[in-house]
Structure 1
């Protein structure tokens, strides 16, 4: 499968999807793909990401809903909008500091 890469993004960082209209805050990182084969195969082959890259767990939101997303690094970009994340679970996991950044409520969380 190849060597795992260093994650480009970090826990507490707000990111947005490169293709789909959603954004979220990262709450966990897998150094390489760590989901089910069924999940991976459900992605159309033409856009299926490689497994040997970091994958991120996000408290995600779009215009209509809030959910948890699992996204490959190649499909994420930094979100520089400055808008807070409204996801209902953010306060359970993060504390928002004065600069507007999110940091884990429990530093040993990950």
Structure 2
């Protein structure tokens, strides 16, 4: 009932090893580098997106600043015109008295 053929692992299609297979150091290093590269790419994309958001926010702030600067300039010119008008109406008052008069009229 026994065959005279010797048993060899190559004669059987399935080979089961009792030792767990370990990846080589080179393969582990390649996997590590690949994971690191992907992580670096993700970080780079996040940084670019954050940079774009900050740039757009900065542009918005600059535009708002320009609007406020123009508004302040208009208000300053109006203030000068009003002061000139008050000094014309009340030539005996100096600048301090004119400012005091304006403050008293507002209350």
What's the TM-score bracket when you normalise by the shorter of the two chains? under 0.3
TM-score (structure 1 length as normaliser): 0.17
Structure with larger Rg: 2
TM-score (structure 2 length as normaliser): 0.17
Q: Which is richer in strand?
A: 1
